[in-house]
Amino acid sequence: MHFSYSTMAAALALSGFALPGSTSAQEAPVEAAQAPGSADERAASMVVLMTLEEKLSLLKGFFGTDFPPAGFEAPDGARYGSAGYVPGVPRLGIPPQWQADAGIGVATQGGAAEKRARTALPSGLAVAASWDPQLAFAGGAMIGAEARADGFNVLLAGSVNLMREPRNGRNFEYAGEDPLLAGIIAGAAIAGVQSNRILATVKHFAVNDQETDRNDGNAILEEGALRMSDLLAFQIAIERGDPGAVMCAYNRVGGLYSCEHPFLLTQVLRGEWGYPGYVLSDWGAVHSTAAAANSGLDQESGFGLQRADWFNADKLRAAIQAGELAEEQVDLMAARILRSMFAHGLIDDLVSEGQPIDFAAHRAVSQQAAESGIVLLKNEGSLLPLGRETGRIALIGGHADKGVLSGGGSSQVYPDGGNAVPGLEPTTWPGPVVYYPSSPLEELRKLLPDATIEYADGTDHAAAARLAAASDIAIVMGTQWASESIDVELNLDGEQDALVEAVAAANPDTVVVLQTGGPVLMPWAGKVPAILEAWYPGRMGGAAIARVLTGAVNPSGHLPATFPDSLDQLPWPGAPRTGDLVYDEGATVGYEWFDANGHEPLFPFGHGLSYTSFAFDHLVAKRDGEGLVATVEVTNAGDRRGAEVVQLYLSGPAWDAPRRLGGFARVELEPGESKSVTIPIDPRLLADWVADRPGWTRAAGAYTVSAGRSSRELTDTVTIELPPSHLPPDWRPEG
């Protein structure tokens, strides 16, 4: 990718604060922070009162904990075992920034001896599978409430990297392969966190789409493709969530490190998108002092890690003295940080540790999220739901007698009740492997009191097969553990594929329940009648799985990512690369790639079955400003209450892929009930970003809008003629 940086200066000016005339730092009372005004005004006034040392202190974030590395001691005031700490300026009433990882819940850093036991949501991908922004908001609000109660005011949440690589070990933290779905879900989660008057990030900006070589990997893709895929997901998440901070990523993009990238941080983020907040680095992701600061990085995170030392006060002062960094730039950096602190309540509504948490209410939020995100992939002969008359059930593998799996790394939440299966390898980074104490076995026994449910751990395939043969139904729990800093194989861990084969051969009525970080291959898919994808289902996962299996909950999740049938269907079938990551697929990510290349996936993007059935009628699309608005009637044609996700797919006259997601809505319906849903279609999704004419260009011609239950099950299509149009690079939706 060869970016033009010519608009840099203009963009810098655009993003600048109007700082009042330069009074030198002066004696100011602690009430200075309470002065009235907008967040911009308050930040600008505050910067004037600060000494250079005070401003520099805001630009440096410490690792919030005493490990790693050996010998590092977090400064006084840091919260034990947390991700980060930026001291405040007590003289002026500026509180510290206490940072916690919080994609899935308030996390404790892996090495901490004492864990902060908090409520874990299902994985980010599971929440995306609900296609329900309100639910994502509720989850974010729950996490934010726990963070506030723990004295954290900056949550490193809002993970929205696109699933270009289904083996990425962090896919479980993200929101899938489509920029619209991912952006809407992550944006809602961010808004939920921030509804607690604390600040959330969006991360990792940008194209941090695999963990292999994550510190140096160089994402290479053409600018238009970048704009229409990974950047669009961030743009939508920022528009909807208004995060106080953006975390720049470890990796390089087009040759430059993300945290010293003028195109990403200044031209696009601040200039075109008008982003008013600050940019903080991922932990140890900075590689320069003046270059990073001049490119748009405001705060370096992770001091205490060996490689995080670029924004220390000595280096910044030296850069100023050498004329490489203007002092005004330091003012601007400090002002952006303060502006977000003012705008999101950090200064007016101080956090404090040790506040009460309503764990029962928070577990209910987590359970609802899990129940809404579980996807029924296959249900031949309506084997599910399990009836109360089911006599003998064999439950096999996946530690289903004890709990449910979670993903590893910095987002790891330690559950109240502790790790249900301690000691599994790896026990140290990128581990430990943590199972939440919500046992599918116990929950199934509660819901099916008349059934005989026996458990086999699945290590002995022959014993598992014997139990299955002696039972009416067999359920195999298939697991795949994934974690930050590693990529994973696209299968269940260990010998579990063979276990499924053995059980299915012994009992044709075999159900497979998956707990995976993302898609997996299923060589046995044709041999089992029912498959349920439960992702990492969170603190109440056992209950959620049991309720879906028994029909207490009607499944309604839909896949936020394509499940390939084989590795050779992927744009990059080889093992994840190092060095130059040439994304030849461009913007045709996920289902767009599969559709454009005629690959038949195992399960397509958007797919998800229900115990009832739905019909779509009367699809209408009409122009609405620069975009479209579509209306469709959804009917629950079966005999159970259920929720359906109406998906709208668009096709354009000369697009690289046959269709893209244009909008969606989740609808709850009683049996026989119909509802008309109205779905707006963002004009950017009707356009392409064409490199030689920056902005969103729509060709004239016939566009189609289709309603579907998945990207491959379209039930109704309308065509609409559209004139050409062009939206400038800084176009933003109203509101």
Which residue type occupies 231? L
- Given the complex with ligand BGC, which of 210 and 554 has the nearer CB atom? 210
Q: In whole angstroms, give the CA distance from residue 384 to residue 379.
A: 6
Tokens of 270: 């601040």
DSSP alpha helix (H) spans, 344-488? 359-373, 440-447, 461-469
User: Contact between 116 and ligand BGC (CB under 6 A)?
Assistant: no
- Given the complex with ligand BGC, which of 156 and 404 has the nearer CB atom? 156
Q: How far does CA 237 lie from the centroid of its chain?
A: 10
User: Contact between 594 and ligand BGC (CB under 6 A)?
Assistant: no
User: Contact between 245 and ligand BGC (CB under 6 A)?
Assistant: no
Q: Do 161 and 208 contact (CB within 8 A), yes or no? A: yes
Distances (CA, A) of 109 to 113, 423, 544, 600: 9, 17, 27, 41
Active site annotation includes 66: no
- Given the complex with ligand BGC, which of 517 and 542 has the nearer CB atom? 517
Q: In whole angstroms, give the CA distance from residue 597 to residue 571.
A: 10
Q: How far is the CB of 83 from ligand BGC (least distance, A)?
A: 4
User: Contact between 62 and ligand BGC (CB under 6 A)?
Assistant: no
Site track for ligand BGC across 175-204, x = CB under 6 A: ----------------------------x-
Q: How far is the CB of 241 from ligand BGC (least distance, A)?
A: 16
Q: Do 414 and 434 contact (CB within 8 A), yes or no? A: yes
- Given the complex with ligand BGC, which of 282 and 443 has the nearer CB atom? 282
- Given the complex with ligand BGC, which of 167 and 203 has the nearer CB atom? 203
- Given the complex with ligand BGC, which of 284 and 642 has the nearer CB atom? 284
Q: How far is the CB of 314 from ligand BGC (least distance, A)?
A: 24
Which residue in the set 54, 66, 101, 209 belongs to the binding site for ligand BGC (CB under 6 A)? 101
First to last CA, the chain: 32
Q: In whole angstroms, give the CA distance from residue 122 to residue 687.
A: 34
Q: How far is the CB of 525 from ligand BGC (least distance, A)?
A: 33
Q: How far is the CB of 291 from ligand BGC (least distance, A)?
A: 21
User: Contact between 205 and ligand BGC (CB under 6 A)?
Assistant: no
Q: How far is the CB of 145 from ligand BGC (least distance, A)?
A: 20
Q: How far is the CB of 74 from ligand BGC (least distance, A)?
A: 13
Tokens of 122: 């299902």
Q: Do 542 and 402 contact (CB within 8 A), yes or no? A: no
Site track for ligand BGC across 363-402, x = CB under 6 A: ----------------------------------------
Q: How far is the CB of 107 from ligand BGC (least distance, A)?
A: 8
Q: Count residues binding ligand BGC (CB under 6 A).
A: 7
Which residue in the set 223, 272, 282, 501 belongs to the binding site for ligand BGC (CB under 6 A)? 282
User: Contact between 410 and ligand BGC (CB under 6 A)?
Assistant: yes
C-beta contacts of 400-403 below 8 A and 24+ residues apart: 400/439, 400/440, 400/441, 400/455, 400/475, 400/477, 400/542, 401/439, 401/441, 401/442, 401/455, 401/457, 402/435, 402/437, 402/439, 403/435, 403/436, 403/437, 403/438, 403/439, 403/541, 403/542
User: Contact between 558 and ligand BGC (CB under 6 A)?
Assistant: no
Which residue type occupies 419? N
Q: Which of residues 486-525 bind ligand BGC (CB under 6 A)?
A: none
Q: How far is the CB of 283 from ligand BGC (least distance, A)?
A: 4
Q: Among the options 101, 132, 282, 493, which is catalytic? A: 282
Which residue in the set 273, 283, 563, 605 belongs to the binding site for ligand BGC (CB under 6 A)? 283
Which residue type occupies 166? P
- Given the complex with ligand BGC, which of 234 and 605 has the nearer CB atom? 234
Q: In whole angstroms, give the CA distance from residue 240 to residue 186.
A: 9
Which residue in the set 43, 48, 83, 297 belongs to the binding site for ligand BGC (CB under 6 A)? 83
- Given the complex with ligand BGC, which of 390 and 410 has the nearer CB atom? 410
User: Contact between 156 and ligand BGC (CB under 6 A)?
Assistant: yes
- Given the complex with ligand BGC, which of 65 and 196 has the nearer CB atom? 65
List residues bridging with 612 in a β-sheet.
none
Q: In whole angstroms, give the CA distance from residue 722 to residue 735.
A: 24
Q: In whole angstroms, give the CA distance from residue 175 to residue 123.
A: 9
Residue of 167, 163, 151, 74 lying closest to 125 (CA atoms): 163
Q: In what order do the strands lie in the sheet with 642-651?
A: 660-669, 642-651, 701-710, 713-722
Show the beta-strand stretches assigned E in 102-207: 154-156, 199-205
SS3 label, residue 61: strand
Which positions lie near ligand BGC, rule CB under 6 A? 83, 101, 156, 203, 282-283, 410
Query: Which residues are designated catalytic?
Result: 282
